[in-house]
């Protein structure tokens, strides 16, 4: 990590040692997952909502895609990255406006549980989806 000072003309960098606490990891995680999502989420929007269209989407089309483990993995990764990025983003926004530690702690616990339950529920659905069961 570098600390930065100086005017916009001259930037001085010096190395600083930061402890690897949760907030710092979450901060870096938002940047890293953001880069991953640039490919996964924008790719998903282009493939499913531009090249294909919701106006002719059917469960048979979904079954056709989820016949391949490639698509299943893509959607699984998208689920994990997008949901955790989004939930952490919401946590950041809320912590900007809620200054009561007790309330914020309760919200954090709720969001963490919601994140895990959602990923397990939807991840289970993607993993176990059987295209043969769809006519």
Residues near another protein (CB under 8 A): 2, 4, 8-9, 11, 13, 31, 34-35, 37-38, 41-42, 45, 49-50, 53-59, 62, 79, 82-83, 86-87, 89-90, 93, 97, 118, 121-122, 124-126, 128-129, 133-134
Nearest to 36 by CA among 44, 24, 47: 44
Nearest to 78 by CA among 110, 42, 52: 42
Q: At closest approach, how far in Å is the CB of 19 from another protein?
A: 19
Helix ranges, the chain (H): 22-46, 59-65, 69-97, 101-128
User: Which CB atom, from 74 or from 129, has the smaller least distance to another protein?
Assistant: 129
User: Which CB atom, from 34 or from 106, has the smaller least distance to another protein?
Assistant: 34
DSSP letter for 56, please: G
């Amino acid at each position: 990590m570098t600390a930065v000072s100086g005017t916009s003309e001259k930037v001085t960098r010096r190395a600083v040692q930061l402890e690897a606490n949760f907030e710092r990891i979450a901060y870096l995680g938002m940047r890293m997952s953001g880069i991953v999502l640039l490919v996964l989420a924008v790719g998903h929007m282009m493939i499913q909502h531009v090249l294909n269209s919701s106006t002719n989407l059917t469960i048979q089309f979904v079954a056709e895609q989820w016949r391949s483990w490639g698509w299943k993995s893509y959607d699984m990764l998208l689920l994990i990255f997008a949901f955790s990025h989004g939930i952490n983003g919401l946590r950041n926004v809320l912590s900007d406006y809620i200054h009561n530690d007790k309330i914020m702690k309760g919200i954090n616990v709720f969001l963490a549980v919601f994140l895990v339950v959602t990923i397990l529920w939807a991840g289970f659905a993607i993993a176990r989806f059987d295209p043969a069961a769809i006519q």
